[in-house]
Structure 1
Amino acid sequence: MKNISSDIRTDLQKIIFLCLMILFIIASWFTINKTFVNTGYSVFVEFDSAYGIKPGTPVRLRGLNIGSVVDISSELNSVLAIINIHSRRLVIPKNSLIESNQTGLLNDAVLDILPLEEVQISSNVILNPLSDSCSDDKILCHLSYVQGDRGLNYDDLVRATTRISQRFDDPRFFNLFYMFLHNSVEVTDQVINIFTDLSDLLEFSSRKYSN
């Protein structure tokens, strides 16, 4: 009997411990989820191409890191990135330019948010992107949808440099350049001759009037 009661007590302890663990996990999940919802918000940004953007790409506002890219997906005619702003206190003006730039030696992608105007509000108005009454015409609210642009991209620079070098290697370019120089020399000679004739004419006229 003692062995049976001991086994029952052990099983009850295991069940109680398991229930406590489950309650702890559920409470922790609710706490983290509540903190995330209350402190951060998300914005959808559409781009023509990925431009090196991936989950974890930092998001900067006026040069300061304020968030990161959570996910990116390919649509029919564009690429849609979901960015998470770490705090609801980080308010982004509606009229802002969102660019995908490349920085550093490894050309890491970064999203730069550049406000194009100052938002004029009353002192008693509190801007909250998570509020149900968020003013979508002044700031970016939670789950707003905006268009992103392509900023500084080293691939474009390399491509442009390659095209310029290819133009210099083209014999037709050298022929045109030679013709341009030849015509320029001829025009310069003609201009010099004209000025010489004018100077001679002026000198002759001055001598004639002086006599």
Structure 2
Amino acid sequence: MNQIESVNFWKHLQNIIIFFLFIGFTVVLWLIMNFDMNNQTYSIFIEFENAHGIRQGTSLRMRGINVGFVKKIKIDLNSVLVLGSIKSRYILIPKNSIIETNQTGLLNDTVIDIIPLDLINERESKDVNVLSSQCLKSKVVCHLNYLQGERGLNYDDLVRAATRISQRFDDPSFFELLYMFLQNTIELSNDIFSITLDVSNLISIFYSILKKRLESY
């Protein structure tokens, strides 16, 4: 009886081992089939004077397409340093690019827009590997390169400007200056009209005299 139980135990154990080996082989095969070199990411550093609503997970866009996201944010003494992750090493960013923060959507979500100012030759781009040390000689941004960002479209600035304009309209001195300007403009237009009328009369008189003299001849 013990021998039979022992044999059954080892058979059961073999079935379990075969099952796990099959599962492991399936997982490895799936990883091999779905592995893509494009999944190799690279990182860039971007410095801003202010965070402008940037947080972890903020999208990085180039030509309107999402090419990465913000991994980390570090506040320095005089600036904010952002670590951005680009989705693929085949996404090339020209070094001569404008990087700015913009607000989009109804909720004013902040995104980082990368605006290339140079065109990259396709032949040159095929030989560029942003992860290699040779990339430093190219015209594209390499792994762990440092870039300077700036502030772009911001609805807070628009609201602040509109508030200042409304405050100016509520200022009595503004209306006093506006009234003086309109009064001087009206007086100036009256003077111009009077001068124009006098010149017109003078031309008319001169024309009449010239006509009479010509008729006398």
Bigger mean CA deviation after superposition, 85-94 or 126-135: 126-135
Q: 1:96 to 1:168 in 2, by over 3 A?
A: same
More helix as a share of residues: 2
Matches within 5 A, 1:66-81: 66-81=67-82
Structure 2 regions of 5+ residues with no counterpart? Answer: 213-217
Partner of 1:56: 57
Looking at structure 1, the residues matched to 125 and 166 of structure 2 have their Cα atoms a distance apart, in angstroms, of 60
Q: 1:136 to 1:163 in 2, by over 3 A?
A: farther
Looking at structure 2, the residues matched to 124 and 137 of structure 1 have their Cα atoms a distance apart, in angstroms, of 9
Structure 1 regions of 5+ residues with no counterpart? Answer: none
Matches within 5 A, 1:51-130: 51-120=52-121, 122=123, 125-130=126-131
Looking at structure 1, the residues matched to 186 and 74 of structure 2 have their Cα atoms a distance apart, in angstroms, of 59
Moved over 2 A (4+): 34-38, 119-125
Contact in 2 for aligned 1:44/1:143 (Cα 8 Å): yes
Looking at structure 2, the residues matched to 36 and 179 of structure 1 have their Cα atoms a distance apart, in angstroms, of 72
Q: 1:177 to 1:193 in 2, by over 3 A?
A: same
What CA RMSD, in Å, does the superposition of the two structures yield over aligned residues? 2.6
C-alpha distance after superposition, 1:16-37 (max 9, x if no partner): x9xx9xxx9xxx9xx9xx9899
Bigger mean CA deviation after superposition, 113-122 or 64-73: 113-122
Contact in 2 for aligned 1:102/1:152 (Cα 8 Å): yes
Shift in Å, 1:135:
2.8
Query: Structure 1-normalised TM-score?
Result: 0.81
Query: Structure 2-normalised TM-score?
Result: 0.79
C-alpha distance after superposition, 1:113-143 (max 9, x if no partner): 0001113464585111111211355111000
**SS state at 2:133 partner:** coil
Contact in 2 for aligned 1:69/1:82 (Cα 8 Å): yes
Q: Percent identity?
A: 49
What amino acid sits opposite 2:204 in the alignment?
A: E
What amino acid sits opposite 2:183 in the alignment?
A: H
Partner of 1:191: 192
Q: 1:167 to 1:99 in 2, by over 3 A?
A: same
Looking at structure 2, the residues matched to 135 and 42 of structure 1 have their Cα atoms a distance apart, in angstroms, of 14
Partner of 2:215: none
